[in-house]
Amino acid sequence: MTAELSGSTALVTGGTSGIGRATAVALAGLGAHVVLSGRDAGRGDEVVSAIRAAGGKADFVAAELTDAASARSLADRARELGGHVDVLVNNAGIFPTGPTADLSEADFDRVYATNVKVPFFLVAELAPEMAARGQGAIVNVSTVVALRGMAGMALYGSSKAAVELMTKAWAAEFGPSGVRVNAVSPGPTRTGGTAAFGEGLDELATAGPAGRVAAPEEIASAIAFLVTGGSSFVQGAVLPVDGGRLAV
């Protein structure tokens, strides 16, 4: 049986850690040639080796994603490696939290550059080409705090609220050309990035019906669903993958 994503190329940003790493592994397992980006070449090479050792196809692109130019140059590298890009997972993100008065203008600009500007310009680069081929899938990674007003989350949550609106607008813009654009909204997930939260992560998780923190693979499997045929009629959706947190 042919794996569902055989012959396709998937670009996963932030594929060196956590949810992005698990997504890269999952999509490679479905047969995609995965191009994963990150800043840490050591971790990138480790993910590529793990995927290749399992019989998959992957390449790492070192990319500090800060602006439109860096997004364009990553898209160029992905095209060079894959011929064209069929699947884009906008996963790379940063999540500084804390009192509004403690966050600087530089923090604000960094969060909006990484979480909003770069996904915007990656989609600007790659979605029109998907539309010209009549197919493609894009998944943006949001968060439950895009919808819930939580103290200390104004900056991060608002950046992801922008991502959720862009998801819907892009579904309207590119969906008629065969490109499905969706988002996942993860709850607290155990990753390198959330290690610093310590027990605070578990405390956040107790508020949801599942009552526990997610493994990155549980978010990756939802992303895999959104880029494969089982979700063929799902467009412009923000799928909560949060142990039920947004439901209660």
Q: What are phi and psi of 89, to 5 degrees?
A: -115, 110
Cα atoms found within 13 Å of the Cα of residue 57, Cβ hemisphere only: 14
Interacting span for ligand NAP (CB under 6 A) from 13-21, 27-35, 47-55, 227-235: 13-21
Q: Closest separation between CB of residue 7 and ligand NAP, Å?
A: 26
Q: Does 64 bind ligand NAP (CB under 6 A)?
A: yes
Q: Is 156 a catalytic residue?
A: yes
The residues facing 141 across adjacent strands are 184
Q: Does 191 bind ligand NAP (CB under 6 A)?
A: yes
The residues facing 85 across adjacent strands are none
* Identity of the residue numbered 60: F
Q: Closest separation between CB of residue 228 and ligand NAP, Å?
A: 20
Sketch the per residue contact string, 106 through 145, with ligand NAP: x for CB under 6 A, - otherwise.
--------x--------------------------x-x--
Q: Does 85 bind ligand NAP (CB under 6 A)?
A: no
Q: Does 194 bind ligand NAP (CB under 6 A)?
A: yes
CA separation for the pair 115, 242 (Å, rounded): 19
Interacting span for ligand NAP (CB under 6 A) from 25-33, 34-42, 165-173, 232-240: 34-42
CA separation for the pair 179, 167 (Å, rounded): 12
CA separation for the pair 216, 190 (Å, rounded): 7
Q: Does 243 bind ligand NAP (CB under 6 A)?
A: no
Catalytic residue among 60, 95, 121, 156: 156
- Residue 59 in 3-state DSSP? strand
Secondary element (H or E) of residue 156 = helix 154-174
Q: Beginning with the edge strand found earlier in the chain, give each strand of the sheet holding 57-62 in spatial order.
A: 57-62, 33-38, 9-12, 87-90, 136-141, 179-186, 238-241
Q: Which is nearer to ligand NAP, 141 or 222 (CB)?
A: 141
Q: Which is nearer to ligand NAP, 95 or 174 (CB)?
A: 95
- Which residues are catalytically annotated? 156
Return residues touching ligand NAP (CB under 6 A). 14, 16-20, 38-40, 43, 63-66, 91-95, 114, 141, 143, 186, 188-189, 191-194
